[in-house]
Amino acid sequence: MVNNQQPEIQEHYLDRDCTTLSRHVLQQLQSFSPEAQDLSAIMNRLALAGKLISRRLSRAGLVENALGFTGEVNVQGESVKKMDVFANDVFISVFKQSGLVCRLASEEMEKPYYIPENCPVGRYTLLYDPIDGSSNVDINLNVGSIFSIRQQEGDDTDGEAKDLLQNGHKQIAAGYILYGPTTVLVYSMGHGVHSFILDPSLGEFILAQENIQVPHHGPVYSANEGNYWQWDESIREYIRYMHRHEGYTARYSGALVGDFHRILLQGGVFVYPGTVKKPEGKLRLLYESAPLAFLIEQAGGRASTGTQPILDVVPEELHTRTPLAIGSTEDVQLVESFIADWIRRKTDNEAIAK
Ligand code: P6P
């Protein structure tokens, strides 16, 4: 059949289909230096991990032992899903013999995985949440993997990976893989945010959107209102404001990556505040909040704990948690304003009481 598309349109689609992830990374870095090649290779390995996990998820209901719990509890105190373990092992297997990284730090492992002596040691550390939102796995709803790449600093001879306990500005690259109706990989190396869609017929992630910019404002607020009575009064006042004012709508999937992706493309805010009992919140800084904060700032948005930019937070330990408000600048600032007002009133009342 003769393709009746205009030649220039046909060329555009062919060029797009040839803009694979590794080629795009080199274009981004505008370099073919060894470091650029390493980063391009790292992104390629992340894409391979995404394909392997996507394939497993797409057949999970048909494959023995793919779904359900392992019976173990991880360092987070959370029940471990079989898919958590599978995905965590995928990242280790994909990077173990790559010669690209020296450590892998995961939500599922108390300590970083050090590349065994028989593996060439690279200069990078991969921090990742292998399956974010794993409570969605057994019910076929979207889940994701979140990743962050940092440079190793020092020789880490004590194996404590203290060089990772630095703020999010130290990240070289960050991104996520969203396993939904399509598998989407979104990444940034500090030169804008770009998305790729896995074309199963090619087995390649193909460029979908370049330089994504989050709208300054959006209608969506994403929060688990089941925690309403555990929140500080400032957050409860914010939520009541959302209820009373036209133009807002609630969306919450139980998987941060899916909720974040919606907000990245359509605007709005995702809020996971601390509670009175757990003021630090639930989300982990190094491999959940910080990578997404890197992305949202690259996309022109904002990410804070409610009182401090996420990228400025210095973790005390590998699994440090922070409260999170992330998304459109105007919508994150609205959350921050309720917290600032509440602190101001509390301070004034304490001064009056003295
Ligand atoms: P809750 C998944 O466990 C996760 O880390 C995020 O993906 C998600 O946004 C959040 O926790 C859901 O937590 O308390 O609302 O079930």
> pLDDT tens across 16-46, in order?
767 888 889 988 888 888 888 999 999 999 9
Tell me which of 74, 135, 282 to substitute to probe ligand 1's pocket, judged by most ligand atoms within 8 Å of the beta carbon. 282
Residue 246 to residues 41, 124, 215, 220, 330, Cα–Cα distance (Å) = 47, 47, 18, 12, 16
Please provide the DSSP assignment of 250-308 as one string. Answer: E---S-HHHHHHHHHHH-EEEEE---SS-TT-SSBIIIIIHHHHHHHHHTT-EEESSSS
**Dihedrals phi, psi of 21, to nearest 5 degrees:** -60, -45
In this prediction, residue 317 has a pLDDT band, given cuts at 50, 70 and 90, of very high
Mean pLDDT across the chain, nearest whole number?
Answer: 93
Tell me what percent of the residues of the chain surpass a pLDDT of 70: 97
Q: Reduced to 3 states, what is the DSSP secondary structure of residue 98?
A: coil
> Does residue 240 register a pLDDT over 80?
yes
> Does residue 201 register a pLDDT over 80?
yes
pLDDT of residue 1: 47
Residue 174 to residues 17, 39, 236, 253, Cα–Cα distance (Å) = 23, 11, 32, 22
Instruction: Determine the Cα angle at 228 with ends 225 and 231, to 5°.
Output: 125
H or E element, residue 14: helix 7-17
> Does residue 69 register a pLDDT over 80?
yes
CATH class, range 220-353: alpha beta
Residues 17, 319: Cα–Cα separation, whole Å? 39
pLDDT of residue 122: 66
In short, whether 132's Cβ falls inside 6 Å of ligand 1 is yes
CA 125 / ligand 1 centre spacing (Å): 25
> pLDDT tens across 143-171, in order?
999 999 999 888 887 888 999 999 999 99
Instruction: Determine the Cα angle at 287 with ends 231 and 140, to 5°.
Output: 80
Residue range 12-209 in CATH 3.30.413.10: no
In this prediction, residue 119 has a pLDDT band, given cuts at 50, 70 and 90, of low
> Does residue 339 register a pLDDT over 70?
yes
CA 12 / ligand 1 centre spacing (Å): 40
In this prediction, residue 64 has a pLDDT band, given cuts at 50, 70 and 90, of confident
- Boundaries of every domain in the chain: 12-209, 220-353
pLDDT of residue 121: 65
pLDDT of residue 3: 58
